[in-house]
Structure 1
């Protein structure tokens, strides 16, 4: 695949992912179920009143809320769990990788992209290792299945063996269908339900309708799409969110731009200083209002070239 073809394919997959994410499968249900289990455990250990106050405080901080019980916040901000929480962001990004073989975050180099993805996979492994999946009856929760699917794709790409369950996740086939295709000579998949070689699994997957081979190694994030071939004067690159919106001077909250990095929020009053801060980050993150008026965290997946004069005018219009 040529670099241009890879770029086009990436944007098509990214667009399809953003249009379908959360449309049919809801990891948020598993997220809330885990929190409810943790609350019950905490209440038994420390007392219900202590647990209530602690969970209220934690969830308020996680969703940038000053009041409200943790249950109310989760119900009201259900659709913001993916953008407001660390686990939600991880699930969002690894869903794109698991289903579409892409990395959403804009990276400065191939090495950085591999490092970023590898770190996300390790975080998913750590989370699942600490989660009593069977004891808490979470096996069928989308939260668990999508993380397992991402890990399975990574294992295949690293040349590691996978099992029938992991192959079923990757192919979208029923587990019994995969088992029926397993065996020695004469079977489509060489191996057994516990051990399937990566190259065997990949060869079979590539023949399955709907499976998308990974293209994240062919992504060229540093190639910012060119605008019309006209003299734009002095230009600046602004980060673009998955929905196509940009970081512009109008996304102030209480007189400040809210910049996020690794869970740490930074408040900057000047737009140009905030933009420079985002440009210096590996993965730019900022907060912006939704149509409903709530503020949510978004991550930059691309960069757009805009005339500085246009941004200055926007800054002037917004009073920045």
Structure 2
């Protein structure tokens, strides 16, 4: 990085720097990995290790579109692939975007409307805060591995200053790139120190201390124009589901409704469901998915799935419209 003050970097430059450097500092993906491993440990205490490994294998295969064949391998998969699948999860994408705000003072969004951007920031903070509160960090002894809590502290601190509210000392330390002890030392000074209110630093004092620092990234989201970098964003994102895929690349889709509905399950244990959603839920509960589809002679044949694929609703409709359509990646 050049000798320029951080405050002199444009929102576009900050967005590029964020993507170039992501993963070098705080990274919620690392905590995400440990949470999944700890969840498996908890299940093994609740049930048995065999049952817990089977459950976690099914989870990563269905949820993360993994291809773990043996239940003893799910831990290796999570440890090896965490940086890849993290961004594909809803909470992972939110943590990624929240870090851009916390660290660089930008919002990875194409809108230039301040109210819309502010609402988006609040949404990100609330979503990750809820996830963090739900996770038994202390009970699972993940405190030293937790990078989500510090991310929230950083983001909430910036949001507090953006709204003229007092800031936590730890958050101010992140923004000023100093230790929390340095901030608390400044708070203890009677003259030329940082005034506090209920243990937090007054926003006016915090900004006065931060502004002259060359390594302070001030908030610029209120005046950003990032539509060229983020041209495609929609108020309502398309829903995705995991569906089973057979060896020949055919999938379970909404176009497979027969006279009695959707028929799924192994031979002699098949069940009919009125809706695609109900049938898909039943398939996801099976150790191996089976379903009926018509062949070229219009006969309803039983086929089995060999893996799962994450597809959008519009992609599913393409298969429903074209019964001969196949997923090439499965061939």
Q: How many residues align?
A: 236
Q: Structure 1 residue 42: deviation in Å?
A: 2.0
Residues 155 and 238 of structure 1, relative CA distance in 2, 3 Å threshold: closer
1:74 to 78, 91, 103: 78
Equivalent in the alignment of 1:114? 118
> Contact 1:184 / 1:191 at 8 angstroms: preserved in 2?
no
Q: Structure 1 residue 110: deviation in Å?
A: 3.1
> Contact 2:157 / 2:167 at 8 angstroms: preserved in 1?
yes
Equivalent in the alignment of 2:169? 164
Q: Structure 1 residue 31: deviation in Å?
A: 1.4
Give the Cα–Cα distance (whole angstroms) in 1 for the partners of residues 250 and 13 of structure 2. 37
Give the Cα–Cα distance (whole angstroms) in 2 for the partners of residues 73 and 14 of structure 1. 31
Give the Cα–Cα distance (whole angstroms) in 2 for the partners of residues 46 and 239 of structure 1. 45
Give the Cα–Cα distance (whole angstroms) in 1 for the partners of residues 250 and 161 of structure 2. 48
Give the secondary-structure state (helix, strand or coil) at the position aligned to 2:66.
Answer: coil
TM-score for both structures, normalised by structure 1: 0.63
Which of structures 1 and 2 has the bigger CA Rg? 2
Runs of 5+ unmatched residues, structure 1: 1-5, 226-236, 241-253, 257-262, 272-292, 294-320
Give the Cα–Cα distance (whole angstroms) in 1 for the partners of residues 38 and 68 of structure 2. 22
Structure 2 counterparts to residues 1-320 of structure 1, below 5 A: 9-68=10-69, 69-107=73-111, 109-135=113-139, 136-139=141-144, 141-183=146-188, 185-191=190-196, 194-222=199-227, 224=228, 239=232, 265-268=312-315
> Contact 1:164 / 1:192 at 8 angstroms: preserved in 2?
no
TM-score for both structures, normalised by structure 2: 0.61
Runs of 5+ unmatched residues, structure 2: 1-6, 234-248, 252-309, 319-328
Task: Quote the RMSD (CA, aligned, Å).
Answer: 3.4
Q: Structure 1 residue 169: deviation in Å?
A: 2.3
Give the secondary-structure state (helix, strand or coil) at the position aligned to 2:219.
Answer: coil
Give the Cα–Cα distance (whole angstroms) in 2 for the partners of residues 49 and 150 of structure 1. 40
Q: Structure 1 residue 194: deviation in Å?
A: 1.7
Give the Cα–Cα distance (whole angstroms) in 1 for the partners of residues 204 and 145 of structure 2. 27
Q: Structure 1 residue 131: deviation in Å?
A: 3.2
> Contact 1:103 / 1:117 at 8 angstroms: preserved in 2?
yes
> Contact 2:110 / 2:232 at 8 angstroms: preserved in 1?
no
Deviations 1:198-233 (A, max 9, x none): 2222222223331111111112345x59xxxxxxxx
